[in-house]
Amino acid sequence: MSAKILDGKWVRDQIFGELAPRVARLAAAKRPPGLAVVLVGNDPASEIYVRGKIKACGDLGIYSEKITPPASISTEDLLGIIEGLNQRNEIDGILVQVPLPKQVDTRRVLVSIHPQKDVDGFHPFNVGSLVANIPGPRACTPAGIIEMLRRYEIPIARKNAVVVGRSDIVGKPVALLLLHESATVTICHSKTSNLPEECRRADILVAAIGKPAFIKGDFIKPGATVIDVGQNRGADGKGLVGDVDPEAMRERSGAYTPVPGGVGPLTIAMLMNNTVNSAERRLCSA
């Protein structure tokens, strides 16, 4: 029996279909949700990501604004831009595209975003809400992974989940979300002893280590669900390669996310979801 392909575009389209009437209701009653995206400098990959986010806003009827300071901007000047956006009532979400130039203190900038407008879910206040399982913005890629599993009706409770990678953006938050769904969770990383053996215990294996095709066939329990978060450039500099060997993933898994077309589309979908949620909270409490 061949493995099931978990199609991120199918899930994204479902989420967009659910968001569109919510956006329309807000626009009719008061105003559309508003998202500000801050893109510093001219990093080509960042420009592509931002373009996709702005397009999604347009497709859904969300007001979007792109702010493009020069790559030479100082931390203080960027903080001033963020504070201005914090004060604007028509902006419900603020996203600062990373990476930022070396002279900018990324942590200070991200923490300066008001927690209610932190649609990336990176602010310590929102991370604390995630740890305590209190409602609030969740990091977009991890939230998208949970939506993927739910909508494909892949059981999480009482399953063994292994997360390879411990980043603040994906590894840690997805481990917490899986834990809140009653999985038994193991977090692995570069210092983990006998990584293949740990991974083979997984009913759900999440690869978010940032190394192309690092996870081989002997890491994968036959029939496991494999979520490949990797977005690595191919050896020729073109195309995308995941963190899991694609042939091994197809042959050994029961279900898997392809690269591209798996987890990627869900990151933007959950950003839109966080923006609409923020608008509803702010407008309903006004």
Whole-Å CA distances, 146 to 82, 112, 152, 231, 272: 30, 28, 10, 18, 16
CB 156 within 8 A of CB 182: yes
CB 234 within 8 A of CB 242: no
Q: How far apart are CA 142 and CA 176, in angstroms?
A: 9
Per-residue H/E/C for the chain: CCCEECCHHHHHHHHHHHHHHHHHHHHHHCCCCEEEEECCCCCHHHHHHHHHHHHHHHHHCCEEEEECCCCCCCHHHHHHHHHHHHHCCCCCEEEECCCCCCCCCHHHHHHHCCHHHECCCCCHHHHHHHHCCCCCCCCHHHHHHHHHHHHCCCCCCCCEEEEECCCCCCHHHHHHHHHHCCCEEEEECCCCCCHHHHHCCCCEEEECCCCCCCECHHHCCCCCEEEECCCEECCCCCCEECCECHHHHHHHCCEECCCCCCCHHHHHHHHHHHHHHHHHHHHHHC
Name the residues annotated as catalytic.
Answer: 53, 97, 120
pLDDT value for 286 = 59
Per-residue pLDDT tens over the stretch 91-116: 999 999 999 999 999 999 999 999 99
How far apart are the C-alpha atoms of 26 and 284, rounded to whole Å? Answer: 10
What is residue 42's predicted lDDT score, i.e. its pLDDT?
A: 87
Give the per-residue pLDDT at 45: 83
Q: Please tell me the distance from the alpha carbon of residue 92 to that of residue 266, in angstroms, as a whole number.
A: 20
**Both structure tokens of 128:** 């604390």
- CA distance linking residue 205 with residue 243, whole number of Å: 11
Residue 201, token pair as written in the block: 């215990």
How many Å apart are CA 57 and CA 63, to the nearest integer? 7
Answer for the pair 26, 19: CB distance below 8 angstroms, yes or no.
no
Which residues of the chain fall short of a pLDDT of 50? Answer: none
pLDDT of residue 117: 98
Per-residue pLDDT reduced to its tens digit, 150-188:
999 999 999 999 999 999 999 999 999 999 999 999 999
Classify residue 212 as left (phi > 0), alpha (psi -120 to 50) or beta: beta
Structural domains of the chain ordered from first start: 30-115 (3.40.50.10860), 140-264 (3.40.50.720)
| CA–centroid distance for 90 within its chain | 24
pLDDT of residue 258: 96
